[in-house]
Amino acid sequence: MTDTETETADAQAESAIAEASAVVDDVIDNVEGVIVGHHEEIEHIMTALLGRGHVLLEDVPGVGKTMLARSVARSFDGSFKRVQFTPDLLPSDVTGVNIYNQQTESFEFREGPIFANVVLGDEINRAPPKTQSALLEAMEETQATVDGETYDLPQPFTVIATQNTVEGDRAYDLPMAEVDRFMKKLHLGYPDEREETEMLGRVVGDHPIEDLSAVATLADLRAARAATAEVTVSEPVRTYATRLANDTREQAQLGVSPRGTIALLQAAQARAVLAGRSYVVPDDVQAEARVVLTHRVRTATDRPASAVVEDALATVDIE
């Protein structure tokens, strides 16, 4: 490649990143028209979206988990579906079923709610493991298998799942393997007084979410995802991510998996795009590390997983 071509390629990458950055900014502005506060969490959801990841929202009921997910989904012109997970929910309720069509005298496949660009899985920990595994396959493979037939899911495909931390006795804890497939796990937390007051002002009368319109196309999202994948991850940054993961492995019973490290770097790439930068810096990694790594760490003692991650961030040297 000649210098001119390199420069041209560089310029194209720069403009692609600028465009992706603009799309993200638009979406965030749109969502913040509905959601009060939670700016960081909105950014996290957007980076997950760019980094081809799925998000698990965990918190007490009523803090706006579903609202947040819906707002993000509705900002695109793609399809959005919502599944309320219950103890009696069957896998076919998620993926779809083959129904016998008497007119054509054949079985035809009726798509389940998983066939959408953005799938909101509400309270997934209330469904039995078999149903959860249907979601699991869809998240990992971007495909669904029904009666031995495999169906491709639409692109892009993102799952935003919520999980209640109350009513633990009536829930099926997500297996570690499944939790690992979520790029990040977020906690929303209660809004502060000012934010809650403002939120109340907004929802009295017509709920603003009904007026929310799409500000980006699926094509925009696909382009943004492609640009994100092109963001440079230099050797020192890769080393840093590896060392962070290693550090958690040394500290905890179950540390961050290689899948976690990949997720961390993908999230960091998206974070760089948010800043309009074509390369990842350690600050990007640090900004994503807590939400990407914490839910992948399990300690044998009372020590919280977050402490392990904080410790790793504080001790691993950055070169």
- Quick check: 174 binds another protein (CB under 8 A)? no
Q: Which of 16, 35, 87 is nearest to 198 (CA)?
A: 35
x/- mask, another protein, residues 180-219, rule CB under 8 A, reads ----------------------------------------
Q: In whole angstroms, what is the distance from residue 153 CA to residue 168 CA?
A: 32
- Quick check: 139 binds another protein (CB under 8 A)? no
Which position among 136, 280, 291, 293 is part of the footprint of another protein (CB under 8 A)? 280
CB of 1 to another protein, least distance (A): 13
- Quick check: 279 binds another protein (CB under 8 A)? yes
| Count of alpha carbons within 13 angstroms of residue 186, beta-carbon side | 30
Number of shown-chain residues binding another protein (CB under 8 A)? 19
- Quick check: 237 binds another protein (CB under 8 A)? yes
- Quick check: 314 binds another protein (CB under 8 A)? yes
Which position among 197, 234, 239, 306 is part of the footprint of another protein (CB under 8 A)? 234
- Which CB, 49 or 280, lies closer to another protein? 280
- Quick check: 315 binds another protein (CB under 8 A)? yes
Q: In whole angstroms, what is the distance from residue 217 CA to residue 75 CA?
A: 9
- Quick check: 10 binds another protein (CB under 8 A)? yes
How many whole angstroms from its chain centre is CA 26?
Answer: 18
User: Where does this chain touch another protein (CB under 8 A) — which range of 20-28, 35-43, 93-101, 231-239?
Assistant: 231-239
Which position among 236, 239, 253, 298 is part of the footprint of another protein (CB under 8 A)? 236
Which position among 214, 275, 307, 313 is part of the footprint of another protein (CB under 8 A)? 313
Interacting residues with another protein between 86 and 105 (CB under 8 A): none
Q: Which of 245, 240, 244, 248 is nearest to 298 (CA)?
A: 248
Contact 182, 55 (CB under 8 A): yes
CB of 51 to another protein, least distance (A): 18
Which position among 228, 251, 278, 294 is part of the footprint of another protein (CB under 8 A)? 278
Q: Which of 169, 192, 208, 167 is nearest to 63 (CA)?
A: 192
- Quick check: 307 binds another protein (CB under 8 A)? no
At 209 the three-state DSSP class reads helix
The tokens describing 13, both together, are: 């990458």
- Which CB, 34 or 285, lies closer to another protein? 285
- Which CB, 97 or 313, lies closer to another protein? 313
| Count of alpha carbons within 13 angstroms of residue 39, beta-carbon side | 4
- Which CB, 305 or 316, lies closer to another protein? 316
User: Where does this chain touch another protein (CB under 8 A) — which range of 122-130, 140-148, 216-224, 309-317?
Assistant: 309-317
- Quick check: 230 binds another protein (CB under 8 A)? no
Identity of residue 18? A
Q: In sequence order, what are the beta bridge partners of 232?
A: 279
Q: Quote the Cα angle for 37-48-311, to 5°.
A: 80
At 254 the three-state DSSP class reads strand
Q: What is the CA radius of gyration of the chain?
A: 21
Whole-angstrom CA distances from 59 to 122, 140, 189, 194 are 12, 24, 7, 20
Q: In whole angstroms, what is the distance from residue 151 CA to residue 95 CA?
A: 9
- Quick check: 83 binds another protein (CB under 8 A)? no
Chain positions contacting another protein, by CB under 8 A:
10, 232, 234, 236-237, 277-283, 286, 313-318
